[in-house]
Amino acid sequence: MDSIKTFLTSEEFYSQLSQWGLNLVIALAIFILGRWLAKAVTGWLRRRLTKRDLDPMLANFLANILYALLLTAVVIAAIGRLGVQTTSLVAILGAAGLAVGLALKDSLSNFASGVMLILFRPFHKGDQVEIGGVEGKVDEIRIFSTIINTLDNKQVTVPNANITADSITNYTALGTRRVDMVVGIGYDDDLKQAQGILQAICDEHPLVLKDPAPAVALAELGDSSVNFNVRPWCNSGDYWTVWSDVLGEAKIRLEAAGLSIPYPQQDVHMHTVEAANG
């Protein structure tokens, strides 16, 4: 009888082991297939949103969130196949999520800020912005951070909470920009002649817009120079080209007309005092 019981016990053990192994294989299959389906669905969603001319950053953000949700469902389904009570597991995960949320409140703040950036969209991919103390072009908005490529080609990751907590300057949102420059001439130079030369430089530049019209106006009587505000308008992408061209041409033409571009200087007057006799 003992040998029969031992045989039955071994048979049950191998049966349960076989069943557990089968469940493990099925759970792995559910995970692998589910992850593939999650990637396929999110890829399809990303393509559909892009075809509808939706902002690429918004499309990527929504696709990433959907993928995280689908992958979570796949993991729970795979674990459930192993015999784990998913109801209890969800409750445990919920309690653990609350504890983790309290510990990672900064990350949750970044996530909430990322959602706000996507919903209100103060900038788009490719915009030149100044956010969180960083200036450059927007590359991507992620769940917790935003990627900025600086003008000298460095990639900076800015936490989303830092962006929404600070002011956002978007240099390309309106399409055009005013270039603000100051050009000075000497006090002995002809004001009208200098103003006419500066105005002609702006009017003749091919990248300077006609509307709004460029303006050249007397700004101040400085310590060493008479200063003009030179303010042409251009497309946002032409800003630095216009800045460089107008300043360079101003120096060339003013000097060619016999006008001076002074630099700060001081006149020192020496007085000789004779010593008293006796």
Q: What confidence score (pLDDT) does residue 109 get? A: 76
Mean pLDDT to the nearest integer, 153-168: 87
| pLDDT tens per residue across span 201-241 | 999 999 999 989 999 999 988 888 899 999 999 998 899 99
pLDDT reading at 114 higher than 90 = no
Split at pLDDT 50, 70, 90, the class of 160 is confident
pLDDT reading at 5 higher than 60 = no
Nearest Cα to Cα of residue 226 among 256, 268, 267, 198: 198
Q: What confidence score (pLDDT) does residue 104 get? A: 52
What is the DSSP secondary-structure string of 219-275? EEE-SS-EEEEEE-EEEGGGHHHHHHHHHHHHHHHHHHTT---------------PP
The answer to whether 163 and 117 have CB atoms below 8 angstroms apart is: yes
User: For tokens 């692998």, what's the residue?
Assistant: 32
Tokens at 88, concatenated:
């209890």
The residue with greater pLDDT, 242 or 166, is 242
**What single-letter amino acid sits at 136?**
G
Domains annotated on the chain, with CATH: 2-103 (1.10.287.1260), 122-170 (2.30.30.60), 176-256 (3.30.70.100)
Q: What confidence score (pLDDT) does residue 90 get? A: 62
- Long-range CB contacts for residues 17-21, cutoff 8 Å, separation at least 24: 20/82, 20/83
Q: What confidence score (pLDDT) does residue 167 get? A: 86
Q: What confidence score (pLDDT) does residue 242 get? A: 94
Mean pLDDT to the nearest integer, 254-265: 82
Q: What confidence score (pLDDT) does residue 269 get? A: 67
Q: What confidence score (pLDDT) does residue 209 get? A: 93
The residue with greater pLDDT, 238 or 19, is 238
